């Protein structure tokens, strides 16, 4: 039996506020395009794990609209994690099944942290979506890409996750 491919699209906030350029050129949308291409090529299923809500709108709904526009009809949107660590933890549970291969799709600025968090997950490949990032997220991703491994090695993962989750629960990026 061939292994199933699950494409995990690690979300970046898709709201227009604070973004530059056309939606089709933005990093989050380019992630949708890349995930759709991989799903078609490998007959895989796209999964977008997120429970983040901002101003009454679910992040998953914006991703669902984009994926439908890209003719993806079978994506799954588990309400797991309002931040990257919890979303990656959900991915790790998926590969407990030895018949599943993961492809993690993240934006280029988010990739260092995603790589750190997915290092050691079996049957896991990582792909980078290139596009225009939200400038503020680009800045924070660069900072956290460098600092998070240090925080994690020093035992601060839970503290970091609580801080980010608290912001997200208030609807902040």
Q: Please give the chain's pLDDT, 173 residues, in tens.
A: 678 999 999 999 998 988 999 999 999 999 999 999 999 999 999 999 998 888 888 999 999 999 999 999 889 999 888 889 999 988 788 778 888 899 999 999 999 999 999 998 888 999 999 999 999 899 999 999 999 999 999 999 999 999 998 888 887 87
Specify the number of domains making up the chain: 1
- Please name the residues in contact with 147: beta carbons below 8 A apart, sequence gap of 6 or more: none
* CA angle at 117 for the pair 115 and 118, rounded to the nearest 5°: 65
Radius of gyration of the chain (CA): 15
Estimate the crossing angle of helix 135-153 against helix 157-169, to 10 degrees.
Answer: 150
| Predicted pLDDT at 142 | 93
SS3 category, 47: strand
| Predicted pLDDT at 102 | 92
Give the pair of three-digit tokens for residue 6.
């699950």
| Predicted pLDDT at 171 | 78
Instruction: Give the structural domain span for 103.
Output: 4-169
Neighbours of 154 (CB within 10 A): 9
CATH number of the structural domain spanning residue 161: 3.40.50
| Predicted pLDDT at 1 | 61
């Amino acid at each position: 039996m061939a292994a199933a491919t699950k494409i995990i699209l690690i979300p970046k906030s898709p709201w227009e506020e604070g973004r530059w350029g056309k939606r089709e050129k933005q990093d989050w949308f380019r992630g949708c395009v890349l995930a759709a291409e991989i799903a078609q090529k490998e007959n895989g299923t796209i999964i977008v794990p997120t429970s983040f809500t901002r101003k009454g709108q679910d992040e998953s709904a914006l991703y669902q609209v984009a994926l439908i526009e890209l003719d993806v009809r079978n994506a799954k949107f588990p309400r797991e994690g309002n931040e990257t660590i919890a979303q990656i933890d959900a991915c790790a549970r998926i590969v407990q099944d030895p018949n599943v291969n993961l492809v993690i799709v993240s934006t280029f600025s988010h990739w260092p942290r995603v790589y750190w968090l997915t290092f050691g997950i079996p049957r896991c490949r990582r792909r980078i979506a290139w596009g225009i990032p939200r400038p503020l997220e680009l800045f924070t991703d660069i900072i956290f890409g460098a600092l998070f491994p240090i925080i994690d090695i020093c035992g601060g993962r839970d503290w970091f996750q609580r801080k980010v989750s608290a912001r997200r629960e208030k609807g902040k990026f």
